[in-house]
Structure 1
C-alpha cells in the first residue's frame, strides 16, 4: 500500500499477543524439532514407510456454515486436530477466485506473489512460485505424489508434476473412488484430493447453512471423507505409518449481510471464510478461535485540544493566506472525538479570527450534542448547517464541502459519510479570512472544548457524495483515494511529541501547537471507523498459505528462505506425550 504517511494504528491487545506466542512457530525449524522430540518415528527426511500426507480440498465450503451443519465425519476428525472454523483463504482485498484460492493452498504464497487472479490462470507467476507438488518432486524425485481433482484446471496448472494426476470434471464421486484406490497402494505417500460439488451448489443457490442443496452437497462430501478415512485406517501398514491429514476449504462464498453483526475486517468476508484442520490420531484437540474482529480498537496518538477563551488550546498554520479558496470548490474532513459534556458554541476547527459577530470565514463548532458548520461574511451575516449528534464517546468523521451548483454556491455537511444538510451560501460571496487555518479553540464563543482531532484532510475539489461515503471509515489517506491528487493538506496528527503537526501532503504546511494543546494516546472501539489492522491480526488463525509450509515440515522438507513463503507452522499438542 503506497501510503503517504506512517499512520499505522496497530492492535495491541495483550490476549492476542499471548495467543500468538502460544500457537505460532515463527522459526522454520522449530516445528520439525518438536516433532522429533515428541515422536519415535523418523523425522530426518521423506520416508515411504513413515511420514505421509492426505490433503483434501473442499471448494466453496464456508467455515461458519460447516460449523453450523456439523457433518459427523469431519466433527469426529476434529477431536484429534488443530482446526479453525474462521480460517482465512487470504486476507488481502483482492477478488478471490477458485484459481487464486487453489494457488494459495498449493504454493504457500498469496496473489501478490503468484499473481493468479482469474480462473484461467492468465498472467501467473507459478514458475517463480511453483506448487507444492513441484517442490516435492525437486526435494525427492522418488516420492509418489498423486493429485485427483474434480476440476481439470486444478491439475493442469498446479499438479502437472505429480507422479499421477487424474481429472474427473465435476465428479466428486469419481474423485472419492480414485482416492480410495490410491490408498490401497503400499507406496502411497502424498495424496491430494479436490472436491468441487459444494462450490457448484453454492453458486447455483447460495452459500447459506440453511440452503438444502448447499447443505446436502457438504454432507455428501463428508460421507466421502468418512469412506476415505476408513480406507486410510484399513491400510495394512497403517500402524507403521504417520499420516498428517489436512482438510481445508479453498474459499467460502457470498451470503446475505447480517444486519445484527457488523464485521468490516477480512474475518467478516464470507468469501474468505474457510475451514482448516490438521489431523493426526496422536493430536489432542486444539481449536483456534478468531479474535474479536467486530470490535477492533482505533489506536494511536493525536492532538488533544482542551480550552476556552481564557485557556488557549489550538494549533495554527503560520501562513495566514494558506487555504483561502476564494469562490473555488473545496472539501475539509476531520476525525473527532468529543471528551467533555454538553457545551454551546465552542469552535473546534476553522479559518476565522473569532466566532463573534459578522467576522468573515468558516468554522466547525459544537452546539450541545451536535456539530455545525458556520460561515460568515462582512455583509451577509452568519449561516450554518447542522451535522447532527457526535457527543457520544465515539470517534466520528466530519466533512464539509463547498461547491458551485450551476449559478448557486452551496455547502454540505456529512457525519460519518452521511449527508446531513445542504445550504445555499451564494449571498455570502468570498469568505476568505485573514486568520490562519486553526485546529482547536477559536476565541469568542464563551464555551469550552475538550476534543481529539486526527486525520485532517483538505482538498481543492468538491468530492462527490459517494466517495465521501466510501472513504469515511478509513483512518488514513493513500494513492487509492480517487482524489488523492487534489489533496493540498493532510495532517494524520500521529507525531506524539513536540509541538508540530506535520503536513504529509506535498505542500508541507505544518500546524504549530499553542497553549495547552498536547498529545493524547487513545485505544478504543468505534463503530464508525475501520482502523488499520496489522497482518498479524489475521495470522492468529490458520491461513491457506500455512498449509504447504505445514506439509513441508511434516515430510521433513527443508524450506529455504529463497522460496519466500508466506505461511507459518502450527504446533500440535500430542495426546501421548507428557509436557
Structure 2
C-alpha cells in the first residue's frame, strides 16, 4: 500500500509539472514581494564540488551501427570517454505476449544493476516473476532497488529526474524519481532535458530517445536495425545533435566549473536487418556504452567474449569411459580443471544444498558407494570426495562460490600406497594440499561413466572448459593454466579436453567433441525429451582478465554501479556488476593540476 500511495503522489506531481513543461499555457509566475526580496542575498556560484550524471539511453541503437555511422558529436566525445561498441545486452527472449517497445527485461537490468535471473522481471508490470507457494506463507519475494532508490537513500537532497516515452516504465519502475515525465517523441524529450539543464539542479537525470527504435520497427521499414536503413541512420544523427545541445547547456551553467558531469550514453538492445530485437542473436544483443568526462583520456574497452553451457536440473553431460581412462586407482594420478560461472538462486544467494557433484564418477545412486570420486559443491564449499575400499577423504576449500564471475577450479590427486596426495587450486592459487589415508585400489573399479553436472542437481553453474590429465600437475602449471581459455594440446598427459564453444557442438546439439584425438566425446544427459546443449555467449570475467580496468565487456549490469560510484553512493553487494571507473579516478582530481 505504501508503494501505491507513493506512485499516486508521483503521478499527481508529474501531471502538475508536465502541464508546465508541455501545455500551451504557461504556469503562473508569482513575484516575490519587495520587502522579502530585499532580505534575500544575491545568489552566487557555489564553490563546493558537486558530482552530477546525465544518462542518455538510445533505444534500439546497435553498437556496430553507431560505430560505422560515426555521428559527429558522439565521435568528438570519444577523446574523453571510456567506451565500447561491442556491448552485450541481456540474453533473453521476449514472448509474443511480452513483446513491447519498452523491453522490460533489459530496462530492469540497466536500472537495478542485477542480472535478469535475479530480478526476474519479464513484462511491463516491472514486477518479479515469482510463483508463490500458498502452502508456504513465510515465502518472500525479493525486490531489488533501482538506481533512484540508491541515490535517494544515500542523500535525500539529491534530486532525480526521468524523462522517457515509455508509460509502463515510468509508472511501474521510475515513479520513485523526484520527477518523472512521459514524452510523446524525441523532440519533447530533448526540450524537457534542455530546460532542466538550463533552469534546474538535478543530481541525476535519465532520459530515453526512441526515434531509432521506431525507425527500425515501423511497418514497411527497409533495413531494420542496420546502416542500410536511412530513417534509422537519420534518427541517430538527429539524436546526436541533441546530445551536442545538452553538452552546450551543461557548459553554460553558472556553476559549471564546480560541477563534475559524467555523461553516460547507452543503448538497451540492438536488432537485425529484418527489424527483430526480442531474441538472443548477436545482432539483437549488440549495444554500446560511453562514459564521458571532459578530463578523461580516451580508452576503448577491450572486449573479450567466451562461451559456456548451462548445467541445470534437466541438462548434464556424460562421457562414456568403458576403458576407465578417467579413473583414479592404485598408482594412478588425475588432475581436473574446470572453468565455471556459478548461478545464484532466486534469493541472489550462491549457497545451495549440500553435495552437488560438478564432475566425477559415482557408483550406485550416490557418491556414498566404494569406488566413487569427484569434485562436489557442498553449500558454498569446494570439495574433493574419494571413497576407496578403506576410508573416505573429502578435503575442501570454503567460501569460494560467491560471485557471478568466471573462475578456474582445479583438483589434483595421486594414489601413493594407502594414501592419496591431493591439492586444490582456485584461480591458480593453492588453497589446500596434503595427503589422506584412503586405500585407492578399489577406486579402479569406479563407474564407466564420467559425469559433468548431474540431472538431479540444482541449476547451479555454466561450464566453459573441462580438462583432465593422467598426472598430478606441478603447482606452476596449475597456476599458469588458470584463466586460459585455450591450452596446448601437446602435453601427452592431457587425456580429456572439452571446450563448450559453438564449433565443438554437434549439429544435433547433443555432443561436445573432445579436443584430444581418439578420446571420447561428451554427450548430453537430460531428463527432458528433445533437449539439447545451448551454447551461450558471455563476457570474459576471469580474474586475470579483469585485473586491468580497460578489460571490460559492457553488460547492462555495469551501468548502475558506475553511476553510483560517480555520485559517491555505496555499492550494494547485491549488484551483479562491478565498478571499473575507479581505475581512472586520478582524472577526477583535475583541479589540483591546473
Normalising by structure 2, report the TM-score.
Answer: 0.49
Determine which structure has greater relative contact order: mean sequence separation of CA pairs < 8 Å that are 6+ residues apart, divided by chain length.
1
Mark the structure with the bigger radius of gyration: 1
Normalising by structure 1, report the TM-score.
Answer: 0.50
